[in-house]
Amino acid sequence: MDIVSLTGFDTLVLITTIATILALFFAYLYWSKKLGYTGDYKQRKRPRCNLSEQSVEVKDSGGARRSALTDQIIARFYDDVDTVYNGFLRGVRLSGGDPCLGERHPLLHKYEWLTYNEVHSRAYHVGCGLVSIGCQPSQNTYIGIYAPNCVEWVLTDLGCQMFSMISVPLFATHGPDACRHIIKEANLQTVICHESKVEFVLRSRDEISVVRRIVKIGSDITQHEKSLAEKWNIKLIAFKQLQDIGKTTPLERNVPKTDDVLTVCYTSGTTGTPKGAMLTHDNVISDLAGFKFLLKQFDKEVTKDDVLLSFMPLAHMYERMNQVILMMSGGRIGFFSGDPKRLLDDLKELKPTVFPAVPRLLNRIHDKVINEINKSKVKSWLFEKAMMAKKKDLERMVLRKDTIWDLLVFKKIQDLLGGRVWLIISGSAPLSSKVTTFLRCVMGCHVQEGYGQTEATASSVLQLLDDFSSGHVGAPNPVNHVKLIDVPEMDYYAKDNQGEICLKGRNVFKGYLNNPEKTAEVLDEDGWLKTGDIGEWTESGTLKIIDRKKNILKLSQGEYIAPVKIENIYMRSPFLAQVFVHGDSLRSYLVAIGVPDEEVLEAWARKQGIMGRFRELCKNKRVLDAVFKSVTDIGKECNLNSLEQIKGIYLHDEPFSIENNLLTPTLKKKRPPLVKLFRKQIDALYESIDNVS
């Protein structure tokens, strides 16, 4: 993403700029006082809850905690919404003739929309079409959706719901082997398939013989595809043809019950084969009820006026939940164009009001803005003054985007996201305090972190909107309880407010499809879900994610090491965009693979008189020494012991990504592929360090 000319002061002389700013600032203060706006600016707002006690212990629960906002379990927000389909029908009642789903025209680049009524009608035709070509309208039928986010994805999902069928999303970054595994395990006889994946499914037919029907999204069916389908005796039809079939053969709906399974959502498979989490309509509606209840406590609500840009994969529950709540509220959902480089263009065109994201994207926005600001002393000075003013607002618990600083400094940055965002939600990994504060000040909107798992639908822990602190993921969602249990091998104990996070509530899944052994590993007899993540309760009753139970290493001394904790600490170095810490059971120390932030590194190198392109800088000894010193100094500041500090680092010039199979679709590191890819570099690090020793 290219972020350019953010403040517009390049052509102004320094003295003129400062004089103009001061004049406007004093004018702003004068008219603010005249018009009576100083109360918001000067006075501290009262939080709408006790921020020093955000969760309370549940009596006789063995240490479980609940939200302090209510002593009730919130499982319904609307009396008439107990399934996802009923949630969509509510959206139809609110916004029947208004826009629902939109895609950008390939030539005009404007969004073209289907109304709620049109979506409802077309989804019904898709459902009727699926039944007409041989799918049984029942909970015994699993329909695969192998496509990026698009209108057809949602139409298929809604069509399945109308006939109680179960959708099973597949995603390209699951990888070919994982996709074949999912198709076989879920017995996907019918796959709704994007044009780019049709041939893969056809050519895999000898390994996935269960497939009988493929519905192609996109271009017309080619003669080559037709020949392959005939060879394997597969019925291959176009998506439009499926709708036409359904349109001419109307059927009585077989709508789902609240306890019916909505979807089987496969986990990312960080360390092994993906597992299919069976999630019910009740799971989804209950989880969203807790979230909507929380918003209501702070006089906030997702309404028909809200707009969402759908760019995170619908194959995962985070984005699925975003879309369900927008449609339940009658809001608009626009799909991004598919090219990450055009994401900012999509945002500017759509102008979303809510922006669910992941830390990697938010970090990138922060880094790009700061790098652009630092190119000019005038910009840098103005930006710092603006940040100081907005931070004082945060201390008063005032969140706003109507100050003079917003007008003169922050507006062009706000416009990067379309200029209308009132809520940014971040999940999947921790967001640094620096970036959180930056977003709240610069964007002038709520930034809410949360924590959850596929197995618990989505959000199990959420920050309160009035809590402007950072470094934690909030308190329990009012739909579930949270407790910590001992992990003695990692020296975490519940009595010290640390341990493995366990969840219990109506958002917890039924189990893994056709995998009772794995289900028994994570769900105990009392219904508690063991997440595998390590948490810590803060004094205010909020939860911090501090480690991962499965990601532990054992060094040759027999000491256990948690690399994720170390990586999160090292990521505070301004030099690094990504880092992977590795330990070997035959070695007594750790090494790391780091991916530098290209713009930060190149700017630093220029100041040091070090010449060369990014790839060359990654191999420069002075650069290596500077990065190594930066991370180890940060490690000391954060009290890492000597065994937790790396002894060497290799700098790589290509980011870890979903595309190169080093990150999961939820942007977690795939540790086995990372070790395999960097085996040579890891061995070289060990050899060079051993030789020096």
Among 30, 230, 254, residue whose Cα is nearest residue 130: 254
Mean pLDDT of all residues in 321-335: 98
Residue 693 confidence class, pLDDT cut points 50, 70, 90? low
Tell me the three state secondary structure of residue 104. Answer: strand
Among 424, 475, 430, 432, residue whose Cα is nearest residue 574: 432
The CATH number of residue 582's host domain is 3.30.300.30
Mean pLDDT of all residues in 89-106: 97
The beta strands (E) that lie in 197-275 are given as: 213-217, 235-238, 261-266
Q: Residue 639: what pLDDT?
A: 84
Domain that residue 679 falls in = 553-691
Q: Residue 322: what pLDDT?
A: 96
The CATH number of residue 94's host domain is 3.40.50.12780
Contact (CB, 8 A) for 599 and 538:
no
Tell me the three state secondary structure of residue 389. Answer: helix
Counting beta carbons within 10 angstroms of the beta carbon of residue 227, is it exposed (0 to 12), middle (13 to 18) or buried (19 or more)?
Answer: exposed
- Between the alpha carbon of residue 225 and those of residues 202, 244, 644, 668, the distances in Å are 8, 21, 54, 35
Domain's final residue, options 272, 291, 320: 320
Q: Residue 5: what pLDDT?
A: 45
- Look at residue 458 and tell me if it is in a domain: no
Among 331, 309, 254, 312, residue whose Cα is nearest residue 85: 254
Above 60 in pLDDT, residue 13? no
> From CA 248, how far away is CA 98, in angstroms rounded?
26
Percent of the chain with pLDDT over 70: 91
Tell me the three state secondary structure of residue 1. Answer: coil
Counting beta carbons within 10 angstroms of the beta carbon of residue 404, is it exposed (0 to 12), middle (13 to 18) or buried (19 or more)?
Answer: middle
Tell me which residue has tokens 């900012």.
344
Distance between alpha carbon 170 and the CA centroid of its chain, in Å? Answer: 17
Mean pLDDT of all residues in 462-469: 93
Mean pLDDT of the chain: 90
- Look at residue 287 and tell me if it is in a domain: no
Contact (CB, 8 A) for 282 and 258:
yes
Q: Residue 271: what pLDDT?
A: 52
- Look at residue 638 and tell me if it is in a domain: yes
Q: Residue 39: what pLDDT?
A: 39
Above 70 in pLDDT, residue 436? yes
Among 431, 303, 458, residue whose Cα is nearest residue 361: 431
> From CA 100, how far away is CA 658, in angstroms rounded?
29
Q: Residue 28: what pLDDT?
A: 53
Distance between alpha carbon 33 and the CA centroid of its chain, in Å? Answer: 42
- Look at residue 503 and tell me if it is in a domain: no
Name the residue with higher pLDDT: 693 or 104: 104
- Look at residue 344 and tell me if it is in a domain: no
Look up residue 274 and give its two tokens.
């993906």
Per-residue pLDDT tens digits for 354-388: 999 988 788 888 888 988 898 889 999 999 999 99
Q: Residue 37: what pLDDT?
A: 39
- Look at residue 416 and tell me if it is in a domain: no
Q: Residue 25: what pLDDT?
A: 57
Tell me the three state secondary structure of residue 324. Answer: helix
- Look at residue 622 and tell me if it is in a domain: yes
> From CA 172, how far away is CA 659, in angstroms rounded?
9
- In the chain, the number of structural domains is 2
Above 90 in pLDDT, residue 180? yes
In the sheet that holds 576-583, the strands lie side by side as 576-583, 590-596, 646-651
> From CA 110, how far away is CA 106, in angstroms rounded?
8
List, in order, residues 6 or more apart from 72 with CB less than 8 Å away: 478
Which residues, in sequence order, are bridge partners of residue 163? none
